[in-house]
């Protein structure tokens, strides 16, 4: 199945109105790093809830996704949002250095060609522009729970899942640094108890695109 058809089918299988993980905490993180008047790319925007929050805060937001269904839902829920469809495996129809910030919430774990994705992301950011992202955490406690629970392990590692990659804080930091970002800051949303209960924790990362 071609990548575009896969993503369209995946979105059409999901009911509308799903809440993203820890929405309030992620929104606070996002708004703390974006300023009024800045041009922001919401990459993998889903149904547009974070884009709407950014717009209310005075940012100029472009919603981008690899399927038309989430963009349709985003426009329906938030009329007036600017949207664009990007290729899952190709160049993005966006100009170099055209954004002050890129927000990718719960996206990088779904990306097959991470090198190409990060290269395109860096290309569209202006020098010293902000990369802001979140992804599920896979630290020691999460891995311990999976090691001790065969059922949880089988569910988590289901080969039919659309989560293609697992990230620890150190691995994510190293990856982002390798692609020309600096002043990288990472923190974890959620408690140790959350991790052991299987409720999941979330990595939040902020970084600045280096000038060269």
Helix (H) or strand (E) holding 117: helix 114-124
Q: Residue 56 to residues 31, 52, 102, 131: CA-CA distances in angstroms? A: 10, 6, 17, 20
Task: Judge whether 69 counts as a catalytic residue.
Answer: no
Closest alpha carbon to 124 in 101, 155, 153? 101
Spot the catalytic one: 27, 38, 47, 106: 106
Sheet arrangement for strand 181-189: 82-85, 60-65, 39-43, 99-105, 125-136, 202-209, 181-189
Residue 71: CB partners within 8 Å, gap ≥ 6?
45, 63, 65, 83, 84, 85
Helix (H) or strand (E) holding 197: helix 192-197
Q: Residue 62 to residues 54, 65, 171: CA-CA distances in angstroms? A: 10, 10, 29
Residues tagged active-site: 106
């Amino acid at each position: 199945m071609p990548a575009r058809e896969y993503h369209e089918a995946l979105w059409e299988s999901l009911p509308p109105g799903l809440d993203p993980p820890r929405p309030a905490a992620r929104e606070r993180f996002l708004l703390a790093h974006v300023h009024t008047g800045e041009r922001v790319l919401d990459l993998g925007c889903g149904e547009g809830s974070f884009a709407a929050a950014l717009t209310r805060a005075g940012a100029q937001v472009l919603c981008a996704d690899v399927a038309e269904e989430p963009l349709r839902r985003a426009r329906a829920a938030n009329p007036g949002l600017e949207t664009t469809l990007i290729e899952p495996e190709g160049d993005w129809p966006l100009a170099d250095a055209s954004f002050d910030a890129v927000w990718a919430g719960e996206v990088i774990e779904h990306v097959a060609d991470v090198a190409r994705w990060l290269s395109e992301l860096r290309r569209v950011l202006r020098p010293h522009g902000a990369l802001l992202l979140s992804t599920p955490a896979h630290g020691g406690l999460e891995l311990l729970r999976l090691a001790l629970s065969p059922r949880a392990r089988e569910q988590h590692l289901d080969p039919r899942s659309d989560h293609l990659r697992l990230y620890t804080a150190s691995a994510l930091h190293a990856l982002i640094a390798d692609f020309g970002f600096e002043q990288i800051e990472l923190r974890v949303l959620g408690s140790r108890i959350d991790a052991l209960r299987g409720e999941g924790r979330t990595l939040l990362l902020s970084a600045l695109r280096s000038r060269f």
